[in-house]
């Protein structure tokens, strides 16, 4: 910590790094200190745009920088573990882009390292920090839905063939960890399990329909059984033109809510409260971006900012962040179970 500010360093300078940098720049108590890329020119170019940010092309030197308190990781998904562990071994707190990693085995190694080094390991699931989804979680905790019956997550997005062709790791099992589910639908799946609680069993189907020359699925569907008895349905695709905002539906015996990105599109309960009318009037059309439905860059930095603020607060108070590594693991476990179910044609028990 320098001048009372939490120092950030970024590993991986692809498209998402600019959202990380912008989020950090909007936090008064934070400072972007350094950036790492193994290609020197990429590190130099990134830092030339940002005054006072030091470029590194040597990871050990980057991690030895005493002004870095938190490292954010934006490398390809299946390359998160190695750099995250190196950072934690160097005593840095770590925030990893979603998914935290692509297998539960690799995630467990990261969790073990964080515990050993007594550092925070968190993951970017910015949807949890938006006001609309947070209001839904509060209503569930208050028991306003009665008994939860069915929960749906729909991520019907569009990605062109160029999206996969131009970036070599997109659409690969090793570095992408999967397709429409692991890369695009994971935010909605995280919300679904956050709302519904632990998942007991899964039956899924995946397919490659609208793209070619990729290893993974571009379309998938699954039925989930939650431990509380509720049924869940997941639909995910990158082959739906022109692409729609992600949608979550939560239904119970005493109420139902529909959330589209940050907006609450439907909010109705059997037992009304005074704030319900206010919510219906003030949380419609709150989504301020394209949500990534047809353009992966059409998102806002604000969710990252809230996530980063939460980790800074957790460090300063000595508490867990809202998104622990254990929380981040849950959506990956569900997605891997869907892949296994599709491959075997059988229900998978968690």
**In contact, 170 and 164? CB cutoff 8 Å:** yes
Residue where one domain finishes, among candidates 75, 108, 123: 123
Is residue 336 a part of any domain in this protein?
A: yes
- Residue 149 CB neighbours (<10 A): 14
105 and 148 part of one domain:
no
CA distance linking residue 82 with residue 128, whole number of Å: 26
pLDDT over 70 percentage in the chain: 97
Is residue 236 a part of any domain in this protein?
A: yes
132 and 25 part of one domain:
no
Residue-wise pLDDT for 296-338, tens only, equals 766 789 999 999 999 999 999 999 999 999 999 999 999 999 9
Is residue 242 a part of any domain in this protein?
A: yes
Residue 228 sits in which domain range? 127-293+331-349
Residue where one domain finishes, among candidates 61, 96, 123: 123
CA distance linking residue 313 with residue 99, whole number of Å: 22
pTM metric for this prediction = 0.96
* Average pLDDT value for residue range 9-17: 95
pLDDT at 288: 63
- Phi/psi at 92 (5° precision): -95, 145
DSSP character string of 76-132: -GGGHHHHHHHHHHTT-EEEEPSSS-SSHHHHHHHHHHHHHHT--EEE--GGGGSHH
Is residue 81 a part of any domain in this protein?
A: yes
Separation in Å, CA 321 to CA 50, 60, 299: 28, 27, 23
Is residue 249 a part of any domain in this protein?
A: yes
Residue where one domain finishes, among candidates 67, 94, 123: 123
Q: How many domains does the chain have?
A: 2
166 and 245 part of one domain:
yes
pLDDT at 296: 77
Q: Report residue 85 as tokens.
A: 């562990």
pLDDT at 181: 98
pLDDT at 290: 64
Is residue 258 a part of any domain in this protein?
A: yes
pLDDT at 146: 98
* Average pLDDT value for residue range 178-184: 98
Q: What is the mean pLDDT of the chain?
A: 95
The domain that holds 168 is classified in CATH as 3.30.360.10
Is residue 315 a part of any domain in this protein?
A: no
DSSP character string of 6-22: EEEEEE--SHHHHHHHH
* Average pLDDT value for residue range 156-181: 97
162 and 14 part of one domain:
no
138 and 155 part of one domain:
yes
Is residue 317 a part of any domain in this protein?
A: no
CA distance linking residue 213 with residue 292, whole number of Å: 23
30 and 135 part of one domain:
no
Residue-wise pLDDT for 83-126, tens only, equals 999 999 999 999 999 999 999 999 999 999 999 999 999 999 99
Residue-wise pLDDT for 207-258, tens only, equals 999 999 999 999 999 999 999 999 999 999 999 999 999 999 999 999 999 9
283 has a pLDDT exceeding 90: no
- Residue 11 CB neighbours (<10 A): 29
pLDDT at 28: 96
187 and 282 part of one domain:
yes
10 and 143 part of one domain:
no
**In contact, 99 and 126? CB cutoff 8 Å:** no
63 and 149 part of one domain:
no
49 and 159 part of one domain:
no
CA distance linking residue 12 with residue 72, whole number of Å: 9
137 and 110 part of one domain:
no
* Average pLDDT value for residue range 258-276: 94
179 and 237 part of one domain:
yes
The domain that holds 105 is classified in CATH as 3.40.50.720
């Amino acid at each position: 910590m320098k001048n009372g500010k939490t120092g950030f360093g970024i590993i991986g300078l692809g498209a998402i790094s600019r959202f990380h940098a912008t989020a950090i720049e909007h936090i008064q108590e934070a400072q972007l200190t350094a950036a790492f890329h193994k290609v020197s020119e990429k590190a130099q170019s990134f830092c030339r745009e940002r005054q006072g940010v030091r470029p590194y092309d040597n990871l050990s030197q980057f991690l030895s920088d005493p002004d870095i308190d938190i490292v954010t990781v934006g490398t390809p998904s299946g390359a998160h573990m190695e750099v995250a562990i190196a950072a934690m071994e160097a005593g840095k707190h770590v925030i990893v882009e979603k998914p935290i990693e692509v297998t539960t085995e690799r995630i467990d190694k990261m969790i073990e390292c964080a515990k050993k080094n007594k550092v925070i390991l968190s993951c970017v699931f910015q949807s949890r920090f938006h006001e609309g989804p947070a209001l839904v979680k509060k209503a569930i905790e208050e028991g306003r839905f009665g008994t939860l019956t069915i929960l749906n997550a729909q991520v019907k997005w569009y990605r062109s063939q160029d999206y996969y062709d131009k970036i070599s790791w997109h659409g690969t099992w090793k570095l992408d960890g999967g397709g429409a589910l692991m890369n695009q639908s994971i935010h909605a799946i995280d919300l679904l399990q956050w709302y519904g609680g632990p998942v007991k069993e899964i039956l899924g189907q995946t397919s490659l329909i609208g793209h070619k020359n990729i290893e993974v699925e571009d379309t998938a569907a699954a039925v989930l059984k939650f431990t509380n008895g509720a049924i869940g349905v997941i639909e995910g695709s990158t082959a739906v033109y022109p692409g729609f905002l992600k949608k979550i539906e939560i239904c119970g015996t005493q109420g139902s809510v529909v959330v589209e990105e940050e907006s609450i599109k439907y909010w109705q309960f059997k037992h009304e409260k005074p704030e319900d009318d206010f919510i219906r009037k003030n949380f419609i059309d709150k989504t301020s971006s394209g949500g990534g439905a047809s353009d992966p860059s059409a998102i806002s930095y604000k969710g990252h900012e809230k996530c980063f603020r939460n980790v800074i607060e957790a460090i300063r108070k000595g508490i867990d962040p809202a998104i622990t590594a254990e929380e981040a693991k849950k959506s990956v476990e569900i997605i891997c179970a869907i892949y296994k179910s599709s491959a075997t044609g059988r229900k998978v028990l968690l």
